[in-house]
Amino acid sequence: MRDLNYQLKQLCRRNRDGSYVTQSKRLHHLMLMANQLREAGYRGMKPRSLKPKHVECLVKGWLGQDLAVGTIKNRMAVLRWWSEKVDKQNVVARSNDYYGIPDRQFVTNESKARYLDSASLEKIGDPYVRMSLALQQAFGLRREEAIKFIPSFADRGDHLTLKASWTKGGRERNVPVRTEEQRAVLNRARLLAGAGSLIPHERTYVQQLRLYERQTSNAGLSKLHGLRHAYAQRRYEELTGWKSPAAFGPSTKSLSPGQCVMDRVARQAISEELGHARRQIASVYLGT
């Protein structure tokens, strides 16, 4: 392995900040950066060799690749993590504006909802992966939550309780069980997992995550975060009686005062069910 790649990998091993998924994505970005710097002619680098010229070289390359703004900002966060861990914080400018990185547009009225029919789920060979996908669709769970899910613990009858150790940000939360379809999914999950989780006893979380990624990719299933968007849009219609702006419903500006109250209440409830602290985050899923 090239020196910089190897030493950045060691830096990650010594600094295990965040969840496993966060650590894995960080390592992926750092390996990409090391390769891009080498391709740009910067050889023999060590982690502490990082200088402003290296940062500017990377950012210039990313901006030239027409990457999504969110992708570039995620990479900038990793660059700042790198500079912090080698005590060279001043190497990276505090503001992304300095590099000409545009603002990220979080909210659009374009739906990102994703739906899986039974035929799509049947393409998944592993029953545990298939069940995790069914839970994501039925309850708007994140991928990690649906993999670590322990049905015998979570199923409280009229709601689910998600352990803090499963969730992003480490916050326990409840999700209502409202429909017969959701109850059927939970019953199948309990039958499959017994007293355990949706990670079979012979596998670790990392192994199950890799299997999930491999099987969904082989089945041609992508953008599965869209299952949460679909859940949010279904819940909004249940709670208000009309479709959300992202699902071709009326814009928030066109609502009556009474409807605006219902809209705010629905968005707050949906944000909490999805595991977000702020009501405004619901706009990412529902539009405005």
Per-residue pLDDT of the chain (288 residues; tens, 9 = 90+): 479 999 999 999 999 988 888 899 999 999 999 999 999 999 899 999 999 999 999 999 998 886 778 889 999 999 999 999 999 999 999 999 899 887 765 666 889 999 999 999 999 999 999 999 999 999 999 999 999 999 999 999 999 999 999 998 788 999 999 999 999 999 999 999 999 999 999 999 989 999 999 999 999 999 999 999 999 999 999 999 999 999 999 999 999 999 999 999 999 999 999 998 788 889 999 999
**Helices 3-14/69-85 angle, 10° precision:** 80
At residue 107, the pLDDT reads 62
Delimit the domains of the chain by residue range: 3-99, 124-220, 229-286
Q: Select from 220, 166, 236, 241 the least CA-distant residue to 198.
A: 166
How far is residue 132's CA from residue 238's CA, in Å, rounded to a whole number?
24
Chain-centroid distance, C-alpha 41: 34
Q: Give the pLDDT of residue 275.
A: 93
Residue owning tokens 């199948």: 188
Spatial separation of the C-alpha atoms in residues 74 and 271, rounded to whole Å: 23
Integer Cα distance of 8 and 1 in angstroms:
11
CA distance 79 to 83: 6
> What are the tokens at 209?
């995550």
286: left (phi over 0), alpha (psi -120 to 50) or beta: alpha
Per-residue pLDDT, 272: 95
Q: What are phi and psi of 159, to 5 degrees?
A: -160, 165
Characterize 102-137 residue by residue with b for buried, 16 or more Cβ atoms within 10 angstroms of its Cβ, and e for exposed.
eeeeebeeebbbbebeeebbeebeeebbbbbbbbbb
The span from the CA of 181 to the CA of 145, in Å, is 19
H helix intervals, 97-179: 118-122, 127-139, 143-148, 151-154
3-state secondary structure of 159: strand
In degrees and rounded to multiples of 5, residue 173 shows phi and psi of -150, 165
**Identity of residue 70:** G
